[in-house]
Structure 1
Amino acid sequence: MLPMNHAVFVVKLVEKPIHLNYKEYETIEIKVQFPVLRQKDSRSELTLLLWGDYRNDFLKYYKVQDYLIIQGILTLKGYKDRENEPKVIVKRIYPFLLV
Structure 2
Amino acid sequence: MNHALFIVKVVKPPIHLMFKDYETIEIKVEFPISRQKNSKNEIILLLWGDHREDFLKYYKVQDYLLIEGIVTLNVNNKKINVTVKKLYPFLLV
TM-score tier by shorter-chain length is over 0.9
Partner amino acid, structure 1, of 2:57 = K
Is 1:13 equivalent to 2:10 in the alignment? yes
**Which runs of 4 or more aligned residues in structure 1 lie more than 6 Å from their structure 2 counterparts after TM superposition?**
none
Shift of 1:98: 1.3
Which residue does the alignment assign to 1:34? 31
Q: Distance in 2 between matches of 1:84 and 1:67?
A: 24
Distance 1:49 1:42 in 2: 22
**Identity of aligned pairs, percent?**
65
> Any stretches of 5+ residues in structure 2 without a counterpart?
none
Which residue among 66, 87, 91 is the counterpart of 1:93? 87
Structure with the higher fraction of residues in strand conformation: 2
What CA distance in whole angstroms lies between the structure 2 residues aligned with 1:31 and 1:96? 17
Residue aligned with 1:57, SS: helix
TM-score scaled by length of structure 1: 0.89
Q: Deviations over 1:39-68 (max 9, x none)?
A: 111111000000000000000000000000
The gaps in structure 1 that reach 5 residues or longer are: none
